[in-house]
């Protein structure tokens, strides 16, 4: 019913790789939002009010993306916890094993497709 230790280690490597990329992306977004990149475009006052509105919208979109990225990071960390306690790959609704193909595509999945669609 459960995945083998070898399989869990494969999933762990995949998740750790995705987690590293996600954390780097999140850090870049937060740095950009706090203007640590010293972008001349963000600080040039000559662009006028239309550009200010566009900049505000862009920052709102970046905030949303950063928030979603943070949720993704938490999901990946939770998946690592499930690997450690050997509950990884078990659907939280049906209790059935989540197919390997689904976990390779969405390694933080907690449900199989049938349960998700219900």
What fold, for 5-117? 1.20.120
**CA-based end-to-end distance of the chain:** 22
Strands (E), 1-118: none
pLDDT, residue 49, reads 46
Q: Model confidence at 108, in pLDDT bands (50, 70, 90)?
A: very high
Q: Which residues contact 8 (CB under 8 A, 6 or more apart)?
A: 83, 86, 88, 89
Q: Model confidence at 58, in pLDDT bands (50, 70, 90)?
A: confident
Segment 62-86, tens digit of pLDDT = 899 999 999 999 999 999 999 999 9
> How is the chain split into domains, by residue range?
5-117
Contact assessment for residue 102 and residue 9, using Cβ atoms and an 8 Å cutoff = no
pLDDT, residue 60, reads 87
The DSSP secondary-structure symbol of 56 reads: H
Higher pLDDT, 116 or 37: 116
């Amino acid at each position: 019913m459960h995945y083998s230790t070898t399989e869990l280690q494969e999933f762990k490597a995949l998740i750790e790789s995705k987690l590293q990329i996600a954390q780097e992306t999140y850090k870049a977004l937060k740095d950009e939002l706090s203007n640590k990149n010293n972008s001349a475009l963000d600080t040039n006052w000559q662009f006028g009010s239309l550009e200010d509105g566009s900049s505000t919208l862009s920052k709102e979109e970046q905030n949303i993306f950063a928030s979603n990225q943070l949720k993704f990071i938490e999901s990946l960390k939770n998946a690592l916890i499930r690997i450690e306690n050997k509950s990884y790959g078990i659907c939280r609704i049906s209790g059935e094993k989540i197919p390997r193909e689904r976990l390779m595509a969405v390694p933080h999945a907690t449900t199989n497709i049938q349960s998700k669609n219900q």
